[in-house]
């Protein structure tokens, strides 16, 4: 996921994406802990996606307040 993909999204769309990514992180965390998933790098990718979405949410919120 790139920041350019997020720039045209509305606040509601970003919140939906954030909830989905957080749910995915929980699933991957449990899969790695129970040794069902060996690719633990997915957790880092998902965390970075969450950070990107949250950054874009702050940008959208600041634009709405001004």
List pLDDT tens digits, range 9-58: 889 999 999 999 999 999 999 998 898 878 889 999 999 999 999 999 99
Distance CA 44, CA 30 (A): 14
Distance CA 20, CA 50 (A): 10
3-state secondary structure of 9: coil
Query: Does the pTM of the predicted model rise above 0.85?
Result: yes
What pLDDT sits at residue 2?
Answer: 81
């Amino acid at each position: 996921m790139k920041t350019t993909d997020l720039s045209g999204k509305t606040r509601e769309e970003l919140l939906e994406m954030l909830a989905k990514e957080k749910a995915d992180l929980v699933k991957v965390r449990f899969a790695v802990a129970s040794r069902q998933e060996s690719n633990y790098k997915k957790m880092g990718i998902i965390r970075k996606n969450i950070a990107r979405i949250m950054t874009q949410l702050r940008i959208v919120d600041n634009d709405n307040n001004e």
